[in-house]
């Protein structure tokens, strides 16, 4: 289908976890903002503990544009994204695919702007969050900026600050994504890594309508660690550098002790404080390096088990 057609087929892929109050409002907002498009929405229920799945089933029965799949348990946001993309690929009935959250902080009225950028030739249209004027904590601002900077430096893949999982991709990009069989799926890193033509558009997120964010500090740290380890081996080289620095410092101190002792300029007395400090420093470096190696070995172990990254427990009735 031509990019210029007004009946463009748009598939929304929406992971959700405990969003029963936001799901009906999401569909209502899509009805208002996506007039002129042949749009559908696929909700991926990530093991919600509230009535999200019952709401999705009801909305699907009432609206032919709404579909849903439900995980057997909580498998995580990135796996929910992966499942939605794989379901969309199996259906083959859209021209572009938009991933976004169910909490309506990703503005649906911004999608036509993203479509326009795609029509101009971009394969990936990435929405980049602007936080100016928003009431967010200093810790969140600094931690977010630090993550994007550290990830870009460690992986060699440039990731601009403010990038989230609000993006548009075309059918060819979807094919590339579903053919990547990473166990630790991290779409924010995969698409920049691919080098596909990308347009980055700034947007201002809405305030959450109902509920609270489910993206806790623990989940953010786990996602950051998974992304860094999945796209870079540079931490292994850092561990080598730390080991070499530790060796050189120990050697330099030994030479210093030897010189001042043989020269009779001073009497070196190591005592418990300096001895304990030295042992703890060297032990800390060793444990840090072993931890890095352990993470990579753990990733290899989980990859080799060959288990699926998610299990679908239910689907809405076929339309």
Q: What is the pLDDT of residues 24-42, one digit of tens each?
A: 999 999 999 999 899 999 9
Closest CA to 191 of 149, 160, 221, 145: 160
For residue 3, give the DSSP letter.
Answer: T
Phi, psi of 100 (to 5 degrees): -165, 170
- Distance set, CA 34 to CA 52, 124, 167 (Å): 23, 19, 16
CA atoms within 13 A on the CB side of 39: 21
- Strand runs labelled E in 130-215: 163-170, 198-203
* Per-residue model confidence (pLDDT) at position 255: 79
Asked if residue 201 lies in contact with residue 122, where contact means CB atoms within 8 angstroms, the answer is no
Average pLDDT over every residue of 160-186: 87
For residue 209, give the DSSP letter.
Answer: S
* Per-residue model confidence (pLDDT) at position 219: 64
Average pLDDT over every residue of 219-227: 67
Residue 236 has pLDDT above 70, yes or no: yes
Which one has a higher pLDDT value, 99 or 5?
99
* Per-residue model confidence (pLDDT) at position 5: 45
Mean pLDDT over each residue of the chain, to the nearest integer: 82
Tens digit of pLDDT for each residue in 101-115?
999 999 999 999 999
Band of residue 6 on the pLDDT scale cut at 50, 70, 90: low
Which one has a higher pLDDT value, 198 or 184?
198
Tens digit of pLDDT for each residue in 247-297?
777 777 777 767 777 776 665 555 555 666 677 677 777 777 787 787 778
Least confident of 34-48, 162-176, 183-197: 183-197
Asked if residue 20 lies in contact with residue 52, where contact means CB atoms within 8 angstroms, the answer is yes
Tens digit of pLDDT for each residue in 187-210?
888 888 888 999 999 998 888 776
Tens digit of pLDDT for each residue in 48-94?
999 999 999 999 999 999 999 999 999 989 999 999 999 999 987 79
Q: Beginning with the edge strand found earlier in the chain, give each strand of the sheet holding 163-170 in spatial order.
A: 198-203, 124-129, 163-170, 96-99, 9-16, 38-45, 66-71, 312-315
Residue 146 has pLDDT above 80, yes or no: no
Regarding pTM above 0.85, the answer is: no
Average pLDDT over every residue of 228-235: 72
């Amino acid at each position: 289908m031509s990019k210029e057609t007004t009946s463009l087929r748009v598939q929304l892929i929406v992971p959700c976890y405990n969003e029963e109050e936001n799901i009906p409002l999401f569909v209502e907002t899509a009805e208002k903002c996506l007039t002129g498009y042949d749009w559908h929405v696929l909700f991926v229920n990530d093991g919600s503990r509230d009535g999200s799945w019952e709401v999705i089933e009801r909305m699907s029965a009432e609206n032919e544009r709404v579909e849903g799949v439900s995980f057997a348990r909580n498998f995580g946001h990135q796996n929910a994204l992966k499942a939605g993309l794989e379901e969309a690929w199996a259906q083959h009935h859209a021209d572009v695919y938009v991933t976004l959250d169910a909490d309506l902080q990703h503005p649906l009225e911004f999608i036509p702007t993203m479509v326009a950028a795609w029509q101009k030739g971009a394969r990936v249209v990435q929405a980049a969050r602007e936080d100016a004027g928003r009431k967010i904590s200093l810790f969140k601002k600094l931690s977010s900026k630090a993550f994007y900077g550290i990830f870009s430096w460690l992986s060699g893949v440039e990731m601009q600050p403010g990038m989230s999982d609000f993006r548009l991709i075309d059918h060819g990009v979807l094919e590339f994504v579903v053919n990547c069989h990473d166990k630790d799926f991290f779409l924010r890193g995969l698409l920049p890594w691919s080098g596909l033509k990308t347009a980055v558009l700034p947007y201002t997120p809405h305030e959450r309508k109902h509920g609270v964010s489910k993206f806790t500090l623990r989940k953010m740290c786990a996602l950051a660690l998974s992304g860094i380890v999945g796209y870079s081996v540079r931490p292994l080289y850092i561990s080598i550098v730390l080991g070499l620095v530790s060796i050189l410092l120990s050697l330099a101190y030994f030479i210093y002790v030897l010189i001042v002792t043989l020269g009779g300029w001073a009497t070196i007395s190591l005592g418990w404080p300096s001895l304990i400090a030295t042992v703890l420093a060297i032990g800390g470096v060793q444990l840090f390096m072993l931890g890095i190696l352990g993470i990579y070995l753990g990733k290899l172990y989980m990859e080799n088990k060959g288990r699926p990254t998610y299990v679908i427990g239910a689907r809405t009735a076929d339309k």
